[in-house]
Amino acid sequence: MSEVRSRRLGVAAALVEGRLLPGDVTVAGDRVEAVGLPPAPGGRVAAPGLVDLQVNGFAGVDVMTAGPDELDHLARELAAHGVTAWLPTLVTAAPASTRQALSVLAGVVAAPRPDRAARALGVHLEGPFLSPQRLGTHQAEHRRDPDLPLLLGWCAAGPVVAVTLAPELPGALEVVRALTERGVLVSVGHSDATAEQAHAGFDAGARTVTHLFNAMSPLHHRAPGVAGAALGRVDVTVQLVVDGHHLHDDTVRSAWAAARGRTVLVSDATAAATRPDGAYTLAGVPVEVVAGAVRNGAGALAGSALTLDAAVRNAVALGIDPAQALAAASEVPARLLGRTDVGRLHPGGPADLVVLDDALGVDTVLVDGVPVS
């Protein structure tokens, strides 16, 4: 039997349990061998592979309509940007379209991970149980009030691990409790809930908020809405799209200060991510990218063209501590999903890693210890 050779990553520090631990990292085969070794010169850092909880599309591929080969291509493109685990996200669509997409994604999740590609951890259903007042680009004709038998049928058809819904809708709290009992992550989003209604959703089992501040009741000093309720609760994790379009810089800083350690960076990426400005679709809805912003025909934001590594750099440019920003794109989302096999860098753990240069640009990505081209 041949001996597995170890090799150093050549980093000065590594993200371990929320802090940048000085020292180099060695990898042997598909495992992390050691951390905290004498640091390499320069400012390169290693982090767990990034975990993106909201990917509607990427690199010209729309998740809702993609086939297995297109999804493999998408997963390889994600890995090139440091993402080694992701949730394919299905927005509101006709029930038959959702079921068909779930069938395709069930095969993708169950199949061995393609070489040098991000691993799909399960499906995020963003809709259709959303507020008619806060739909954004979700198709109004396919929006509906919560329907537990329909949802459980979808869960049987595909590996649903997260659901975004509006807790103020009739029957929503029953759905939240049923999903929570089954271990599905429930997120409040596209909601016109009052703070009291949001609290009821969190008390029923919802543990996070989808793209905080966007497509939800606004924060007012006497009517704090979803955002105010979430930021005030230490048991709720908030998700932010930090692309310079979804949120004002001061809003990002304020949310981060209020929810330090329970903030997740997501891309909310569409097929436009990594592609030039122009025309694309989101679950069949025409969208257009102008100056990096993805908008529908009415001019409203419709997902993003963001990559998760860019979200980390954007957060740091706003004054967020680099260790916190990296953790928000790796450790915190993994913890939210209850996964211990992704989003962590430790001896004996999987060598799904990203090495970043001193400007936090992606230098090298390892998937199962193999460098991604």
* CA-to-CA separations, 204 to 127, 164, 181, 186, 227, in angstroms, rounded: 18, 14, 10, 10, 17
Return d(Cα 356, Cα 151) in angstroms, integer.
40
Low-confidence ranges of the chain (pLDDT < 70): 1-3, 373
**pLDDT, tens only, 113-140:** 989 999 999 999 999 999 999 999 999 9
Query: Encoding tokens for residue 242?
Result: 């930090």
Task: Please spell the DSSP secondary structure of 246-312, one letter per residue.
Answer: SS-HHHHHHHHHHTTTSEEE---B-TTTTS-SEEEEETTEEEEEETTEEE-TTS-B-SB---HHHHH
Tell me how many degrees the CA angle 89-91-93 measures, rounded to the nearest 5.
Answer: 135
Sequence-ordered list of residues with C-beta below 8 angstroms from that of 259, at least 6 positions apart, any chain: 230, 231, 237, 238
Q: What is the pLDDT of residue 40?
A: 97
pTM, rounded to two decimals: 0.97
Residue in 130, 129, 122, 126 with CA at minimum distance from that of residue 160: 122
Q: What is the pLDDT of residue 2?
A: 55
Helices and strands, counts by H and E, the chain: 10, 23
**pLDDT, tens only, 249-282:** 999 999 999 999 999 999 999 999 999 999 999 9
Q: What is the pLDDT of residue 5?
A: 87
Strands 6-8 and 24-28: antiparallel
Backbone angles phi, psi at 278, to 5 degrees: 155, -165
Q: How big, in percent rounded to 5, are the helix, strand and coil portions of the chain?
A: 30, 30, 45
Q: What is the pLDDT of residue 244?
A: 97
Q: What is the pLDDT of residue 4?
A: 76
Active site residues: 268
Query: Encoding tokens for residue 292?
Result: 């990096």
Tell me the domains of the chain and their CATH numbers. 1-48+343-373 (2.30.40.10), 50-340 (3.20.20.140)
Tell me how many degrees the CA angle 163-86-345 measures, rounded to the nearest 5.
Answer: 120
Pair 348, 340: CB distance under 8 Å: no
